[in-house]
Structure 1
Amino acid sequence: MNTFAETFEIGGTPVGGGAPCYVIAEAGANHDRDLDVARELIDVATEAGANAVKFQTYTGQDLYSSRTPAFDYLDDDRTPQQLLDDIALPREWQPLLAEHARERGIDFFSSPFDRAAVDQLKALGVPAMKIASFEIVDLGLIEHAAGAGVPIILSTGMATYGEIEEALAAVARAGNPHVALLRCASVYPSPPEIMNLRAMPTLRQAFGVPAGLSDHTTGIATATGAAALQMDVLEKHFTLSRDRPGPDHPFAIEPDELKALVANVREVETALGNGRMEGPSALEASEMHGNARRSVIAAVEIPKGTEITEAMLTVKRPGFGIKPRDLQLVVGRVARVDIPFDEIVTWEMV
């Protein structure tokens, strides 16, 4: 029996079960260790209509061995340990940023990368915690985060089904029933051909939890399209400007794009409907159903008393008259009244 809930709330906002997608604006390291920039990122996320703004809490020393080689894609001579120490969010900022987010009315949380980070975020009263894809194999960290008693969002980049099951078991051991899984491709940026968006409903069906997307593609097309698969959660990196130096800026979206993304997701959600074919909507029925559909029209002038032939009839718009499917039922009848050329033919006329 599944120990996880199909729906839950983050900061009072429903997640899963057909609720609107919970949109996380991922600030990550794009604060550039400037507190004013970090606050501005929160403002941008709020104005874009995101549900949450998220940062990352780590130290290079605790996250990487000093012997880890540099990543080629970053084109940076620093070791990963050095690089992350240089861009890490100062932890003393977190209460200040959490307070600023509260003032702006947006959820604030972070991705913890060590147990001390979990404890600090728990003390701040964050409404959720996000575990990054690379950490899905750190079952001790996952269990510790789940023990904080807030919903856990797990990215699944590069993960196998077995690794996802192990991570979920770690959440379950902490007695936490609230977890969401995010489809993710762990390449920065990610090309669309490796995104596999159809894995989102697969995750939802396989594990019985809300599922969504952590998107590292450039632009907003992929994330917008994912809304058509009814994603429950979306996480997207954003920045004040892609021209700023730093590892996460180049693939992040800018403020106007974030605003457009949120609007696009909401529009797609509205457009999905209930899936039932129920005839014209009220808007369609008000004018288009009658004016733009077709009906039987007089192709010539038909005097009263004339036996009507097929050649005397045609089919045109509007749709106020006899339905086109009944044209043959009119043939052979007698006109009760004079029917002018191009007149809409009704049953009262024949």
Structure 2
Amino acid sequence: MKNIAIIGYGVIGKRVADAINLQDDMKLEGVCDVISDWRIQNAVRKEYNIYAATAEAEIEMNASGISVKGNMKDLLDKVDLVVDCTPKKIAAQNVKIYKEKGIKFIVQGGEKHETTGHSFSAENNYQSAINIDATRVVSCNTTSILRTLTALKRADLLDYARGTLLRRATDPWESHLGGIMNTMVPEKDIPSHQGPDAKSVDPDLDVITTAIKVPQTLSHMHYWNVKLKKQATKEEVLNAFKTSTRIKLIHYDQGLVSNNTIKEMFLDMGRPWGDMYEVALWEDMLKVVGDELFYAYVVDNQAIVIPETIDAIRALTGIETDAHKSISKTNESLGIH
């Protein structure tokens, strides 16, 4: 049983906290943040131990009636590993603290690969993360790229891949603050950062991505054109994707015609927040023409990295050295079937 701390109780942090709480081989020691509003008050309602990231935050928390267990260093003294879910500039500062204290740590995909020297995707490189000091769980889009291309690579089908990403403009809960309206904004650089990011996990991938920011907040959508190593059938490709437990094949002709209908399905399934941990890939849209493959899928930017983070905790702490066992255990706890 390993004790785990969450630093940053936002969109990702609250989900990681709940996921840790579902595991039987790790314990959530506490969550740490600077906020004292409804977000951290929900953590209080869940009876999580609350720690203040700064002295000012502790004063505000106490004034709001939040029982504070201590400061961030108090929390770090009690744990084996910390998952940092704070914004980029904050995380970079916190990493110095973790290294000074000799605590294992996980950062999220907003950080650069150089922050940890290791980037993580459970189905691709779990073994390389066992008992190391730190890793970065790659971003939502990069996670989806690695899951799908790794599945094709396992089946010895993948030659190279070219993808176009339609990116949500902002997180749903922040959509009142900004974002874009009545326009689409292409990213200037080709390739966009997701392709090179995937190569930080698997340098052998030949992948190039382009990205366009679109005026919606629910999720991302990807379109892929893949050159296969050989001519293949649609069945062969689908069988390759089925080797990933975190790719969910969906059907356009069953009413799943958009990202909002997919979200509604996961809400109906009873997932917390309607979270989709899987890549939702349209089976009936997928097309194979000779040695070319075309497919599209949807990525839940708030949820897809949650199971990866749980697996990363197991790998870094050495709780489980078998990737398949960890993935299976995480899937079961989160209702991924």
TM-score scaled by length of structure 1 = 0.29
More strand by share: 2
Task: Report 1 or 2 for greater relative contact order, CA contacts < 8 Å, sequence distance ≥ 6.
Answer: 2
Q: Which has the larger radius of gyration?
A: 1
